Amino acid sequence: MDYEGSLTISEDLMEKVGILPYEKVLCGNQSNGARFETYAIPGPSGKGEIVLNGATARLGELGDLLTIMTYATVQVEKAREWNPRVAVLSNRNLQADCRLPDVNVNVNVNVNVAVGTDAGVLC
C-alpha cells in the first residue's frame, strides 16, 4: 500500500483501445460503485491482466467489473463526428469485442476509451 497507485493493463489491450503508457485514466468499479483517477502502466501482453496497484487496490476485488476511460479534447467541428473506441472484454480479459457505437457525440470533450472487464481486478 505504500505506493501512490496506478492501474496495470496488459499492453496488448492498451494498444487495442489506444491507451498510452502513463496516460490518466478514470475508473468506475461497477461492482461496488467506487470511482477513481490514476494512470495506466503496461503489463505483460497476452495475459489479460488489469491490476489495481497501491492505494487503489483497496477500491476493488478480484472479479470486479470495471469501466476504464480516457478523454480527448477536440474541436467542436470534429466532436460532432467523434465516436469512442470501446472494447468489451470476455472472462479473464483475454478476448475483446472492439466496436464503434452508432452514435454521434455533440460535445467538445468526449470519452475516447471505455473498457469493460468481467474478471479484471487483481489485488
| Type of residue numbered 98 | C
Domains belonging to the chain, first-starting first, are 6-122 (2.40.40.20)
Predicted pLDDT at 113: 30
In the annotation, is 6 catalytic?
A: yes
Contact between residue 11 and residue 45 where contact means Cβ atoms under 8 Å apart: yes
> Of 3, 6, 10, 31, which is the active-site residue?
6
DSSP string, 55-109: GGGGG--TT--EEEEEEEE--HHHHTT---EEEEE-GGG--EEEE--S----SSE
Which of these is catalytic: 3, 10, 22, 39? 39
pTM comes to 0.73
63-118 pLDDT, tens digit each = 888 889 888 888 888 888 887 777 777 777 876 677 655 544 333 222 233 333 33
The tally of CA atoms less than 13 A away on the side-chain side of residue 31 is 14
What letter would DSSP give residue 19?
P
Among 1, 67, 71, 69, smallest CA distance to 32 is for 67
